[in-house]
């Protein structure tokens, strides 16, 4: 079976990391699996796939991914594969349109990586989305809450499947830390957040929480994106330049997490929260925004705080620092929770959907 994964880019993000982890496993299991990017800019994840022998195609090399010419460029690819699996909005729309003009009988699959988005607030978009999702043979969501919300939005649930994300657990279990002074000089309690600087993420609240904490607390922000300059300006405004470091996109996240004392996932909304699972797998206490999707992953193991509440976030971080028995309890619960999210379980579930589509069972 020939499977093509289509995504806007392989920059930092949960969906991007999921593809980088899953496609090599599809190859191991005998599938011919490739990747197509709307923005083929070089990134660590793209390099990682290419070094593993995965074919990575591109229809552009710009962050301007809503280029209508991409629809025509997609047509030849749709004729070469049995399954085309899309991620991200631009890919969802353009692949659906490309199939209309291609004459291809390819089966289309899409994964909805969030519980909600700005489009769902507009009635016009609901009509467009109902058409678009109707072009897909299977729709996959990454949490039960995401399934419920998408089913309500589309007023249908017949071909929506829930598959929880996963990670390569041993990579995080066994990672060796850096020396802390390789990241920042001095003795400090290190807080980390791994996330793209996008509208659904809320690094701003974490930065404001740092301003409420004593000077021996430092913050490491991993990732890149359009909102990074906004956050850098906020750090300057609050006088936190010596305590906050922006590391950009990294391919050594497991080691960075092992260096951390606490891992935070501060978000406005989430579909799942893969970075929270990574923090838990590194054996660290995870403190996360109480939003659907993310809350289901963290609740009962890590700590949840109200959305955009910097004071509550600062309190939880400081409590972990000052109470070692509480710290060890939360870290242990997080490590135990992480074991539920093995990437191989995720791959098995996706492959079953592919096989059922290919053989006409769904």
Mapped onto helix, strand or coil, the DSSP state of residue 109 is: strand
**359 burial via Cβ count (<10 Å: 0-12, 13-18, 19+):** exposed
Q: How far apart are CA 43 and CA 295, in angstroms?
A: 30
Q: Among residues 72, 73, 92, 71, which one has the least CA distance to residue 135?
A: 92
pLDDT of residue 117: 67
Q: Map out the domains of the chain as residue ranges.
A: 2-166+342-358, 169-338
Reported as a pLDDT band with limits 50, 70 and 90, residue 249 is: confident
Give domain 169-338's CATH superfamily. Answer: Glycogen Phosphorylase B; (3.40.50.2000)
The answer to whether the CB of 340 falls within 8 A of the CB of 322 is no
Q: Model's pTM, two decimal places? A: 0.85
On average, the pLDDT of the chain sits at 94
The answer to whether the CB of 34 falls within 8 A of the CB of 24 is no
pLDDT of residue 12: 77
The answer to whether the CB of 54 falls within 8 A of the CB of 24 is yes
Instruction: Identify the DSSP state of 304.
Output: E
pLDDT tens-digit readout, 76-120: 999 999 999 999 999 999 999 999 999 899 999 999 988 776 677
* Class in CATH terms, 2-166+342-358: alpha beta
pLDDT tens-digit readout, 171-224: 999 999 887 677 776 778 999 999 999 999 999 999 999 999 999 999 999 999
Output phi, psi for 283, to 5 deg: 80, 25
Percentage of the chain beyond pLDDT 70 is: 98
Reported as a pLDDT band with limits 50, 70 and 90, residue 342 is: very high
Residue at token pair 């893969």: 274
pLDDT tens-digit readout, 252-294: 999 999 999 999 999 999 888 899 999 999 999 999 999 988 9
pLDDT of residue 180: 67
């Amino acid at each position: 079976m020939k499977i093509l994964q289509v995504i806007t880019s392989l920059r930092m993000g949960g969906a991007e990391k999921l593809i980088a982890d899953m496609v090599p496993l599809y190859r191991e299991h005998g599938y011919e699996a490739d990747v197509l990017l709307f923005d083929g800019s070089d990134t660590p994840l793209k390099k990682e796939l290419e070094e593993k022998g995965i074919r990575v195609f591109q229809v552009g090399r710009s962050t301007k991914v809503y280029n209508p010419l991409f629809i025509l460029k997609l047509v030849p690819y749709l004729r070469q594969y049995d399954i085309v699996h899309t991620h991200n909005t631009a890919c969802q729309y353009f692949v659906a349109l490309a199939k209309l003009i291609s004459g291809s009988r390819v089966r289309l699959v899409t994964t909805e990586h969030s519980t909600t988005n700005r489009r769902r607030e507009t009635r016009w978009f609901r009509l467009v989305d109902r058409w678009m999702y109707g072009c897909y043979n299977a729709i996959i969501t990454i949490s039960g809450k995401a399934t419920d919300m998408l089913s309500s939005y589309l007023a249908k649930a017949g071909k929506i499947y829930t598959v929880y994300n996963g990670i390569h657990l041993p990579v995080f279990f066994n990672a060796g830390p850096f020396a802390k002074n390789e990241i920042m000089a001095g003795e400090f309690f290190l807080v980390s957040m791994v996330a793209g600087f996008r509208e659904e993420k809320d690094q701003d609240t974490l930065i404001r929480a740092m301003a409420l904490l004593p000077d021996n607390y430092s913050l490491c922000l991993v990732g890149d994106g359009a909102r990074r300059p906004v956050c850098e300006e906020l750090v300057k405004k609050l006088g936190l330049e010596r305590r906050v470091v922006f590391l950009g996109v990294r391919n050594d996240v497991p080691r960075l997490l092992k260096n951390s004392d606490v891992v935070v996932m501060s978000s406005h909304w989430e579909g799942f929260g893969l970075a929270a699972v990574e923090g838990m797998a590194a054996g660290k206490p995870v403190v996360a925004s109480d939003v659907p999707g993310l809350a289901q992953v963290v609740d009962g193991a890590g700590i949840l705080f109200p959305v955009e509440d910097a004071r509550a976030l600062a309190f939880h971080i400081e409590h972990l620092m000052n109470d070692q028995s509480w710290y060890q309890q939360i870290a242990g619960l997080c490590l135990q929770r992480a074991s539920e999210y093995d990437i191989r379980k995720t791959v098995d579930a996706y492959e079953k959907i592919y096989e059922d589509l290919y053989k006409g069972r769904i």
